[in-house]
Amino acid sequence: MSGGMRRRSGRWALVMAAAAVIGSLVTGCAAGSLASPSAASASNAWDAATGTIGLGEPSEQVLELWFDPLCPWCAKFDAENGSAIADLVERGEVSLVLHPLTFLDRESKGSKYSTRASTVLIETARVAPDAVLAVLAELYERQPEEATTGLDDAELTAIAARHDVDVREALRQRDHDELLAEVTTDAFAGSHAITGTPSARLNGDTLDPGDGFLEDLRARLAG
């Protein structure tokens, strides 16, 4: 998603309206129940109770996205739709709830790349919510191939540092590994019941993340 999201950092106050979690999801990368997303402070977009990151001003329209940082289909989705989604959030038309998942850890030769990349996003959400989408966009731009160890911690640290975020301690401590594993299991087998990534819902209703995603999203927002 575009780095232009940082133009108005005040817009990135966290909002997590409780969202419905019923419906089927469309697959791209295939692969215990947690609480629904809830409100958190403007200075910390990470909700440890739900394992989600929330961005935007309060809105009745809540867009949820499930993704794995190593999922190539997620990178394609972001390249095609990320800037437009960022604009919708900045204009206050939607609140955005991000669900980082880690099921593709199995494709990184033991390096747990998805977990480490998600850790970078979590730390960014905790200390600099306005930088989350820019960091996510760069993670996608530099997305490694599956069946490799992926970027190392130094490379991930450098990505975050370019957006004025220090993730060195977060990558050393890895405090969220267990929670990330739990929310990943929950997403595929629990209350959310998705079947692959990327997956998207608006107010609990499934959106097809394919070529017509933006048109469908805008039509629903207008309707």
> Domain range for residue 156?
3-222
For 34-82, the pLDDT digits (tens) are 444 543 344 579 999 999 999 999 899 999 999 999 999 999 999 999 9
Report the CATH number that the domain containing residue 159 is assigned in CATH: 3.40.30.10
Q: Contact at 8 Å (CB) between 207 and 198?
A: no
Q: Which H, E and C letters describe 178-223, residue by residue?
A: HHHHHHHHHHHHCCCCCCEECEEEECCEEECCCCCHHHHHHHHHHC
Q: Label residue 1 by pLDDT band (50, 70, 90).
A: low
Give residue 113's identity as a one-letter amino acid code.
Y
193, exposed or middle or buried, with CB in 10 Å at 0-12, 13-18, 19+?
middle
For 175-203, the pLDDT digits (tens) are 999 999 999 999 999 776 899 999 999 99
Read off the pLDDT of each residue in 147-176 and give the average, rounded to a whole number. 99
Q: Label residue 28 by pLDDT band (50, 70, 90).
A: confident
**Range scoring the smallest mean pLDDT among 31-35, 49-53, 137-141, 218-222:** 31-35
Choose among 26, 30, 88, 83: nearest CA to 62. Answer: 88
For 102-115, the pLDDT digits (tens) are 999 999 999 999 99
The Cα diameter of the chain in Å comes to: 47
* Structure token digits, residue 195: 């079947």
What's the total number of domains in the chain? 1
